[in-house]
């Protein structure tokens, strides 16, 4: 398994955990929105093996009045979510189409579906990614590649959020933040779906989350 990201420490932590469970894994450092890095990630991941499952999962967000939203910040979120997703998806598809199999998944958010006030940069990036995912699904489904888009609507029970809002778990109560293993399980279930009944899009949301 290959775990790629911009921060070596994070990728290594995940790889260590996978190895501790007795599986092999490899950490790669780079930026998925840089074409050469996206190429390298998939080149390594597919070397001497079938490429089974590829996930693009970017999470940065920001809140600004549009009046103060900087051009570079607007562009940065697009690079991370939309351009990175496109490049990872394209590189994955280039290797999966010859195989005639594989799953490509993208992580979306409620911002994928609507642009709320204050979140123009994020929503533009995620809406763009969703369009890419749809276009890929329509092109590659008939070639045996399962392309899926997962709309995560809620806080994720992980280090990023908990460090930023220390008492968020108490605030939200039991099951109020998305459990990371539950998210992973949803991706896994997409991967093992029978090809006669593939899901392109699903949402994941804590039970008590308003929507």
Site for a second copy in 6-25 (CB under 8 A): none
CB of 188 to a second copy, least distance (A): 10
Nearer to a second copy, 11 or 149 (CB): 149
CB of 150 to a second copy, least distance (A): 9
Does 100 sit near a second copy (CB under 8 A)?
Answer: no
If we measure between CA atoms, which residue out of 192, 183, 115, 104 comes closest to residue 151? 183
- Residue 6, classed as helix, strand or coil, is coil
Chain positions 16 to 75 lying near a second copy, rule: CB under 8 A, are 35, 65-67, 69, 71, 74-75
CB of 164 to a second copy, least distance (A): 18
- Helix (H) or strand (E) holding 147, with range, is strand 146-152
Residue count, binding to a second copy (CB under 8 A):
79
Alpha carbons 176 and 208: distance in angstroms, whole number: 7
Does 111 sit near a second copy (CB under 8 A)?
Answer: yes
Alpha carbons 210 and 49: distance in angstroms, whole number: 43
Half-sphere exposure of 76 (CA within 13 A, CB side): 9
Nearer to a second copy, 22 or 174 (CB): 174
């Amino acid at each position: 398994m290959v775990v790629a990201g911009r921060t070596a420490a994070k990728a290594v932590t995940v790889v260590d955990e996978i190895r501790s469970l007795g599986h092999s894994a490899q950490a790669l450092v780079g930026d998925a929105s840089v074409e050469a890095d996206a190429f390298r990630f998939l080149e390594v991941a597919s070397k001497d093996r079938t490429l089974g499952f590829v996930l693009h999962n970017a999470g940065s967000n920001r809140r600004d009045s549009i009046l103060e939203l900087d051009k570079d910040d607007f562009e940065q979120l697009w690079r991370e979510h939309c351009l990175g997703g496109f490049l990872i998806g394209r590189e994955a598809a280039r290797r999966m189409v010859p195989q005639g199999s594989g799953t490509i998944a993208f992580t979306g958010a409620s911002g994928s579906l609507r642009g709320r006030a204050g979140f123009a940069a994020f929503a533009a990036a995620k809406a763009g990614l969703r369009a890419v995912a749809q276009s890929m699904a329509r092109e590659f489904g008939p070639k045996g590649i399962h392309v899926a888009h997962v709309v995560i609507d809620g806080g994720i029970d992980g280090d990023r959020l908990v460090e930023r809002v220390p008492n968020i778990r108490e605030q939200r109560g039991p099951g109020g933040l998305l459990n990371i293993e539950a998210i992973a399980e949803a991706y896994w279930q997409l991967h093992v779906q029978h090809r006669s009944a593939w899901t392109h899009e699903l949402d994941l949301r804590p039970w008590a989350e308003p929507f």
